[in-house]
Amino acid sequence: MDSSDRAPKRPSRWWYLVFGLVVASALAYVLRDGPKHIPFSEFVGLAERNELTGTLVIGEHRVRGRAVSENGDWNFETFAPPGVDVVALVQGKTPYTGAGLEGSANWLPLLLAGALLVLVIVVLVAARTRGNAAVSAMPFSKHGAKVLTERDTMVTFSDVAGVDEAVEEVREIVDYLRAPERFEGLGGRIPKGVLLVGLPGTGKTLLARAVAGEASVPFLSISGADFVEMFAGIGAARVRDLFRKAKAIAPCIVFIDELDALGKARSNTSSGSSEEREQTLNQLLVEMDGFTANESVIILAATNRPEVLDHALLRAGRFDRHVTVDRPDVRGRLEILRLHTRNIRLGKKVDLAIVARRTPGFTGADLATLVNEAALLAARRNRSHVGMAHIEDSIDRVLAGLERRTRLISPREKGVVAVHECGHAIVASELPHADPVHRVSVIPRGANVGGVTLQLPREDRQMATRAELLDRIAVLMGGRVAERVVYDDLSTAAANDLQRATDLARRMVVEFGMSERLGPVNVSAGATVRFLKQEPGVKGTLSDETAREIDLEVRRIVTTQEERVRVLLTERKRRLVAVARVLRDRETLDARQLRSLLDAPFKKKTPDPTT
């Protein structure tokens, strides 16, 4: 234990006793000449026995003087009853003076006593403040981690699905904590730290809790933000206290959630907040280096921003193993859905395999929300079972947001929205590399001011070809072009489509090397990475000519796809108007209904959808 962890010494009680004796002596000195108050009858007795000495001071009601007795001289004070002549009582026996005493009491001893009392209080408070300053801060330096056991977590690997590779990676930790001699006998050692990396909602915390439940060892859980404090040195003290507790109850697991709040890369700034965070990070690095192989303390940490972590944390010997917890594939989604529907009353027609295929890109948290929303929706509609329709509506709600049916839309606006969304839908249905349309609606959802066209890919994909990216841009431009083809005018509904199309085209140019003008070069070194998703950026050292070429190439890609869509929708204008009129009336069309409308023969001229 270092000196910073020792409890500060309190002032000695002997010191208090000595200080009290000094104060008492001072008070006795101040009050030693203070008069003793005696009854008037005793004063009369002193006068009759001639025991008065010195000169009496006689006021209107008060008498003060000095008396002589066996114990020596002493001062006294008394009050004369009304009508009593004190002068006649002592005349001829004791000299006296008539100086008045009323309102002229000697307040000096009382003032000195009060001043000494205030001084005592100030000294005691200062001593306690100095002696107990660190003691008062000790509660802040406690780690605050929750110590859980397998009974508290109630989670095992059977409750984790869709991340089989990650489970296999961390299963070794469980085997080591259960039987460390099997690994140590072969000369191997378990990694000191395991970093779980993945998008939000992929199950990093759940996986850590499952490790604790399987290993049957104490599990200390804390967030990286719990170490951050406004007081200097508190974060480092909490780190020391956490690892001291872990060593005391080893074997155990220390889980630090949101590690990026604690382990951000150190910078050259000298602000107080950054210095405090860096002290905390330095203490964590020291504690991780201080472990030995036989302490049986495993550190698990989770983050969705590994790019901001300090390199010293990620080097060998600290977080030796990095486990990626990715989005589940279709088989993993099916397993997750089966887990979350164990306590849900599903209808006979519900096919979870179909739901898994219709939810590509969903994380475990998204699927849990989907199942819960379906159950709530079925209860709201007074159904005894959760049907496929409830799940379909829940998918739309998770993807696009809640329906806003109370939003008032004029008939003309509704017709424009119908044409806009049908433009997206028809282009997506006609292009060979576009994702098929799942549902198209004119009902606003979430923050959207217009309708929504939902596309679901046919399969899980980890990459995209140039043709697929161009078709995505074309689908995004479909709504804007449809408005121009039908109305020969434009609306503000395409603002978000234009932004997404431009961003995608820029990534094709600066990241993917898919530009004919710039060739196979990557100029996105200035791009930023947030939450495992890269945002497009351009290297700051580019020349003005190259930057201009990038802008021209992005514009060329977008305008080329716009012209491609214009030709396609102009040829299908009558079909576009017919489908838009049906969509305006029905408000929502699914994939089957849309396909039947696109394949239906024309019988007569279709009216404008806004009339």
DSSP letters along 69-91, please?
ETTEEEEEEEEPPTT--HHHHHT
In this structure, what are the phi and psi dihedrals at residue 472, rounded to the nearest 5 degrees?
-65, -45
Q: With bands split at pLDDT 50, 70 and 90, how would you rate the model's confidence at 225?
A: confident
Burial 358-381 (b: 16+ CB within 10 A, else e): bbbebbbebbbbbbebbbebbeee
Residues of the chain with pLDDT > 90, as a percent, come to: 19
Model pLDDT, residue 116: 67
Contact 307, 144 (CB under 8 A): no
> What is d(CA 17, CA 197) in angstroms, rounded to the nearest whole number?
61
Model pLDDT, residue 108: 57
Is the alpha carbon torsion for 588, 593, 594, 598 positive or negative? negative
> What is d(CA 337, CA 552) in angstroms, rounded to the nearest whole number?
47
Reply yes or no on whether the pLDDT at 9 is more than 80. no
Helices (H), 200-271: 204-215, 234-248
pLDDT digits (tens, 9 = 90+) for 302-325: 998 888 888 888 888 788 888 888
Bigger pLDDT: 489 or 410? 489
Q: Which residue has the tokens 């995004």?
A: 476
Count Cβ atoms below 10 Å from residue 489 Cβ, excluding itself: 8
Average pLDDT over residues 507-522: 87
Phi-psi region for residue 499, left (φ > 0), alpha (ψ -120 to 50) or beta?
alpha
Q: With bands split at pLDDT 50, 70 and 90, how would you rate the model's confidence at 449?
A: low
Reply yes or no on whether the pLDDT at 476 is more than 90. yes
Query: Which residues are tagged catalytic?
Result: 421
pTM for the predicted model, two decimal places? 0.64
Contact 437, 429 (CB under 8 A): yes
Reply yes or no on whether the pLDDT at 5 is more than 60. no
Model pLDDT, residue 123: 67
Residues of the chain with pLDDT > 70, as a percent, come to: 76
Per-chain mean pLDDT for the chain: 78
Model pLDDT, residue 46: 80
Count Cβ atoms below 10 Å from residue 119 Cβ, excluding itself: 12
Bigger pLDDT: 381 or 234? 381
Contact 75, 36 (CB under 8 A): yes
Using CA atoms in the order 92, 94, 100, 106, what is the torsion angle rounded to 10 degrees?
180
> What is d(CA 239, CA 287) in angstroms, rounded to the nearest whole number?
8
> What is d(CA 360, CA 458) in angstroms, rounded to the nearest whole number?
9
Is the alpha carbon torsion for 90, 92, 93, 98 positive or negative? positive
> What is d(CA 162, CA 204) in angstroms, rounded to the nearest whole number?
12
Helices 272-289 + 234-248 axis angle, to 10 = 20
170, with CB counted inside 10 A (0-12, 13-18, 19+), is buried
Tokens of 285: 């690095």
DSSP designation for 551 = H
CA-derived radius of gyration, the chain: 43
Of 163, 244, 175, which Cα lies nearest the Cα of 211? 175
Count Cβ atoms below 10 Å from residue 583 Cβ, excluding itself: 27
Average pLDDT over residues 282-288: 83
In this structure, what are the phi and psi dihedrals at residue 86, rounded to the nearest 5 degrees?
-70, -35
Element (H, E) at 395: helix 388-400
pLDDT digits (tens, 9 = 90+) for 129-171: 655 444 444 444 455 556 665 555 577 888 888 888 888 888 8
Count Cβ atoms below 10 Å from residue 48 Cβ, excluding itself: 12
Is the alpha carbon torsion for 260, 266, 271, 276 positive or negative? positive
Model pLDDT, residue 104: 46
Bigger pLDDT: 23 or 388? 388
Q: With bands split at pLDDT 50, 70 and 90, how would you rate the model's confidence at 25?
A: low
Return the bridge partners of 346, or none: 386
